[in-house]
Amino acid sequence: MWKNLLQRRFSLTRSRTLSHAVVHRFISPPTATATTPLLQFRCCFLLTQSQPLASFNFHFHYSSFSYSTQPQPQNAAVSSALDDDAKFPTGDFQFEPLTGWKKQLVKLKMLLAFPWERVQHGSLLSIKLRGRITDQLQSRYSRALSLPQICENFHKAAYDPRVAGIFLRIDPLTCGWAKLDEIRRHIFDFRKSGKFVVAFVPSCREKEYYIASACEEIYAPPSAYVSLFGLAIQAPFFRGILDNLGIEPHLVRIGKYKSGDNLSHRSMTEESSEVLNQLLDNIYTNWLDKVSSAKGKKREDIEKFINEGVYDVDRLKEEGYISDIFYEDEIMAKLKERLGVKNNKKLPVVDYRKYSLVRKWTLGISAGKDLIAIIRASGSIRRVDNLSGVRSSGIIAEKLIEKIRKVREIKQFKAVIIRIDSTGGDALASDLMWREIRLLAASKPVIASMSDFAASGGYYVAMGARAIVAESLTLTGSVGVVTAKFSLGKFYEKIGFNKEIISRGRYAELLAAEQRPLRPHEAELFAKSAQRIYKQFRDKAALSRSMTVEKMEDVAQGRIWTGKDAVSHGLVDAVGGLSRAISIAKSMANIPEDRQVTVVELSRPTPSLPEILRSLGTSIIDVDTTLNELSQDSTFSNGVQARMDGIIESCFRN
């Protein structure tokens, strides 16, 4: 269906159609005329199952550590530098309800809507936030929470006359702070419509309360888990384990702040402590500032409250941090009364997944003629897909490059957004994507929009754009290189294993011989290769950001920056979310700010077989449950299963 739509609208030939494109709309609004919380960084090992232990590839990653500290006052120079992003449009949301004949037209569209788009008037939109939130669009069969779909549901609900308000259940979250800022922004935007947002927080830590503080009302059950103790980061070090096993790491790190301390040291280095303390200062200060602003309290009062160790839900109510203490059924009863639902009637509720199927067209949020493409790049970076035939996750350079080239050929796209959520990966893959983005930016505006992470290889990709937009707490920068080789000779002796190599060529054993340390001439070549990759990275970063190499060297060195600090050092142009990136793209493409545009998503995945089977299985269980309820007048409930996400998903976990 979408292919026919694109061919009709764009007069594209068959060879130029896009695969898996999703068309949706972006507008400012449709106007009348239009336990202790932990903060964890990614632990980076450069060995994968697909690589021999002795082989090495250059990877761009950032390090993983944790610590605890007190915030420091914001540097005045940093605050002054942040004013530079004022030259870019803000992309702020302005709500203007539909009136007149357009309002009547929306009513007609709702009558003609597909069955799955129909929502009862006076409905409550229920959204459950928990665990990992991905930056990618998800198929209808996926159970994963999708940030773009969450944000779009808030946007649609603001204009949907059938939705009276939103019930937001917030369970423990494992996403980064940038995604939380994007969600908070959409909560505040939704509230501009005059509708309410009620938060229910059974488990309240810093991240969960950060989201809840944006809501009009906050409730928690009497037995709620409350752990507002502050923020901390843990730093694991593995050198002692490696020594006990007889494994000797040989790391080459270009940049004094580059990752690798956890393999080469038994404790935190001075450089790591410097960076991580600054990062945590920024995060904790941001939390205090945003919560104080949302709750109308003084920052110092909130900090004093946290330092007292808040574990009792009654304290939250007494101090005015939550509205009241209720169970979920009690909240629903109050909402029924608020919405005028009779006691013998059921409160109409539409859940997040069903509401995701409602089209913006149905709500009168019409498309603009100007088209902006968005390409999403999330996960670890690799150059090619695996050869097993199993669909891979992460950023596959050859696939992303194919999309970039197609977008470059289609003149109807006025601008492009590269949405990045990546901690890095393969250096060659990063460079190839940077090159293609530079070529694309030469023909039309390209804006990089950063989510939780755009560090090292993720930043390499972003710096090919004309402008870079990051959230205040995006982790970015880390312009540096790290590579490693491990000597396993002593370990082999302990387990009784032996390995012999016959070689030709002076450096033939550099990648093959892991049973011995590197020889001096091999170590020299190993280091020179890393230096060459770093020089390319640094010099291209300087070129892309219009800096001298010397100035880039000062802010590079493998150092990680928050988005806000990255603006002050010239690594990022503006602080904001996807809406600001689109607004800047419109400006660069000479599209008036108040004109509607159509955003074309090019990165929607097709559902996997396990997702489909799981969805079918859930449907079968639901049918079986219903039959049992009818025949036995009993209720069955499925238990909620929680699982630990992978390394990237556990980054910045509270």
Return d(Cα 318, Cα 301) in angstroms, integer: 14
| Residue 285 half-sphere exposure toward CB, CA atoms < 13 A | 16
Backbone phi and psi for residue 114, each to the nearest 5 degrees, phi listed first? -60, 155
Kindly report the CA angle at 411 between 410 and 413, in degrees rounded to 5? Answer: 80
Integer Cα distance of 608 and 64 in angstroms: 32
Residue 315: both structure tokens together: 């304290």
Kindly report the backbone phi and psi dihedral angles of residue 238, in degrees, each rounded to the nearest multiple of 5, phi listed first.
-115, 5
Any idea which residue has 């009779």 for tokens?
A: 342
- The owner of tokens 């890393």 is 530
Nearest to 654 by CA among 248, 228, 354: 228
Q: Is 323 a catalytic residue?
A: no
CA atoms within 13 A on the CB side of 633: 0
Distance CA 196, CA 167 (A): 9
Catalytic site residue from 272, 380, 449, 456:
456
Q: Which of 524, 464, 514 is nearest to 489 (CA)?
A: 514
Interior/surface letters 530-565, b for 16+ CB within 10 angstroms, e for the rest: beebbeebbebbbebbebeeeebbebbbbbbbbbbb
Please write down the HEC assignment for all residues of 229-284. Answer: CCCCCCCCCCHHHHHHHCCEEEEEEECCCCCCHHHHCCCCCHHHHHHHHHHHHHHH
Alpha-carbon distance 501 to 514, whole Å? 10
Cβ–Cβ under 8 Å, residues 286 and 472: yes
Q: Active-site residues: which are they? A: 456
